[in-house]
Amino acid sequence: MNLHDEVEKIKGEGYSEANAEAKLCQDIVLKAIAESGMGRNVTSMDEVVKRVERVFTNKKYISDLEKSGKNWLGVSTNTVLKEDVDFLKSI
């Protein structure tokens, strides 16, 4: 999946750039939850946030992200993960 292309598709639905990026982030997180089987055990947004925080603070996960070399935002991994959690808390 090309994230830039996906953002452009969402913008085509009438979303602003910032809202299109936020919607894409939300869609990715919700899809990951649904496909992982966590959806059966998650009953509230607080539980989603707790699980995402647990993953985003996992040293192996962070290491794998940093090794991937796919930093298309040009922003530090820690900043992106924090902003993603903040976004999830806001919805």
* Per-domain boundaries in the chain: 3-90
pLDDT tier, 12 (very low <50, low <70, confident <90, very high otherwise): very high
**Is pLDDT at 1 greater than 70 in this prediction?**
no
Distance of alpha carbon 15 from alpha carbon 33, whole angstroms: 24
**Is pLDDT at 90 greater than 80 in this prediction?**
yes
User: pLDDT of 34-88, one tens digit each?
Assistant: 777 665 677 788 888 888 888 888 888 888 878 777 777 777 888 888 888 888 8
Alpha carbon 67 to chain centroid, angstroms: 18
Per-residue DSSP letters for 27-85? HHHHHHHHHHTGGGT--SHHHHHHHHHHHHT-HHHHHHHHHH---TT-S-HHHHHHHHH
More confident call, 13 vs 34: 13
Q: Residue 9 has what pLDDT? A: 92
Neighbours of 22 (CB within 10 A): 18
